[in-house]
Amino acid sequence: MFEVVEVKTRKDLRRFVAFPDELYRNCPQYVPALHANQLRLLTRGATLAYCSRKMWMVLDGNKVVGRICAIINPRYNERYQTRRVRFGWFDVIDDFEVARLLVGTAEAWAREQGMTEIHGPLHYNTLGRQGMLVEGFENVPPFNCLYNFPYYNDFMTRLGFVKECDWVQYKMVANHGVPDKARRVSRMVMERYNLHFGSLGRMKRNPELVRKFFRVCNESFASSVYNFVPYTDEEIDEEARTIRPFISDKASSLLFDEHDEIVAFGISFPSISRALQKAKGHLFPFGWFYLWRALQNFETTDLMINGAVPKWQNTGVSSVYYREMADKAIKLGSRWAISNPQIESNSAVNIWNSYEHECYMRRRCYIKSIK
């Protein structure tokens, strides 16, 4: 007999966070999140200053067999004039009844809060893991992306969900450089606008420069990233603390104009997915060593975020930082690069046509009316 329980105690929360470790124990593609990071996000993450959320587990006796988190982001609903609840941290054994109980419980709470639609899987905002995997189950995802079994999608369909959007990720050959034409365009753009490269190493040592960078991200993504909600200063500080140890000038690019204002950026770092698999959710006793060692190996790089300030979009500046990153990849001995999820309707994905590439993963956001 299944039982739905709300996560209220610290012990419940630890079981909630640890459940995927057991569910995916024999899955070679699954990449565990660090437990300490998950506990922080679920209890004192910066986004909780304005989001409300509830968490539930389904128990079979004393065994956890499913989990879900329902989130209401009022800034999202106000920006897009909706009344939506989002679900995340959704994991379930291969039993439709468990999925029905989890989603049904989240829907009931959402109706009580006046919501009319549910969609997901999503994080509090666009900074976290989101999108249910629908293609590419044989591949290992970047550390910041979800993995799930194929039957999850069958459950969504049976529960009445339909596609809201898809994000796609590509795998590129990283050691072939850019075409000669792109290199010529890059040089012309740099000379025409008097552009120059800056130092990420310098930026990450200066908290105010980091904040300035993320404010530029807010501007860049406001109209181009689906469902985007601008980051608050508190979210910026939190994200900066998270990614600062991983970024460097080795594989990334930061482009400035003649007035030392940020023009465009491309941030990437070595894949840490295999290291996180070895760490099994914990930095100690050996997880930190696996991560440190992974950060020295650039064979596969994850392309995390890239973009241009709105007034510089459609000027060709993307050719500049892509060329710089491609040259760095060759020097580092990189073989592969994995792109971050990009909405399938965004014409920016056409940039990958300049490289030898293949579709690596496809992720879906589902949506359903709960009126």
For the chain, percent of residues with pLDDT exceeding 90? 75
| Annotated domain spans of the chain | 2-167, 175-334
Closest CA to 272 of 249, 289, 250: 289
pTM: 0.94
Backbone angles phi, psi at 355, to 5 degrees: -125, 155
Give the tens place of pLDDT for each residue, 275-313. Answer: 999 999 999 999 999 999 999 999 999 999 888 888 998
Q: Which residues of the chain have pLDDT under 50?
A: none
Q: Alpha-carbon distance 216 to 310, whole Å?
A: 9
Tracing tokens 């908290």 back to the chain, one arrives at 207
Query: How big is the chain, counted in residues?
Result: 371
Give me the pLDDT at residue 354, please.
64
Q: What is the DSSP annotation of 18-36?
A: HHHHHHTTT-TT--PPPHH
| Token representation of residue 287 | 């997880």
The two domains 2-167 and 175-334 share their CATH topology (first three levels equal): yes
Give me the pLDDT at residue 212, please.
83
List Cβ neighbours of 356 (8 Å cut-off, separation of 6 or more).
Answer: 172, 173, 176
Buried b (16+ CB within 10 A) or exposed e, 77-109: beeeeeebbbbbbbbbbebeebbbbbbebbbeb
Give me the pLDDT at residue 348, please.
60
For domain 175-334, the CATH class is alpha beta
Give me the pLDDT at residue 15, please.
98
CATH of 2-167, one of 3.40.50.1110, 3.40.50.300, 3.40.630.30, 3.30.1240.10: 3.40.630.30
| Token representation of residue 256 | 């400035």
Give me the pLDDT at residue 157, please.
98
Give me the pLDDT at residue 318, please.
87
Give me the pLDDT at residue 351, please.
64
Give me the pLDDT at residue 285, please.
95
Give me the pLDDT at residue 130, please.
94
Region for residue 121 given its phi and psi (left: phi exceeds 0; alpha: psi -120 to 50; beta: otherwise): beta
CB contact at 8 A, 59 and 3: yes
Give me the pLDDT at residue 90, please.
98
| Token representation of residue 40 | 């922080």
